[in-house]
Copies of this chain bind each other. A is one copy, B any other.
Amino acid sequence: MENITELLKGILEGCVLEIISRGETYGYEITQQLRQLGFSDVVEGTVYTITMRLEKQQLVHIEKKASTMGPPRKFYTLNEAGHDRLRIFWEKWAFVSDKMQELQQLKQEGSTR
């Protein structure tokens, strides 16, 4: 799927929060997981701007660990504020998602007229 950039606004941050919530992970790995999920055009830079934002907003705990596969990794875990933010994200997503389904159902009803 190409050019879904605008649709990803807001949700990509939620995805990153969700991925971190599953267990300690780092930027490069998060990027790979997003790509594996299907958001195949997501690049490191995008994820790093998000993780930086999470840091600034103090939603994550950070731990730097050495790696045998390259430079040291910055591992993230969600703190309490991070979990709160994630919960709120899913609530917002459910709301928007529901409304969009309503709109689409009206569409189908309309087309049977």
A residues in contact (CB < 8 Å) with B: 1, 3-11, 13, 15, 18, 21-22, 37-39, 90-93, 95-100, 102-104, 106-107, 110
Bound-state CA distance A104–B6 (Å) is: 21
Contact between B95 and A1, CB atoms less than 8 A apart? yes
Contacts of A7 in B (CB 8 A): 9-11, 92-93, 96
Q: Interface on chain A toward B: helix, strand, loop, or mixed SS?
A: helix
Are A22 and B110 interface neighbours, CB within 8 A? yes
Q: How far is the CA of A7 from the CA of B3 in the complex (A)?
A: 16
Q: List 9 A-B contacts (CB under 8 A).
A: A1-B92, A7-B92, A7-B96, A11-B96, A18-B104, A21-B107, A38-B99, A39-B99, A97-B100
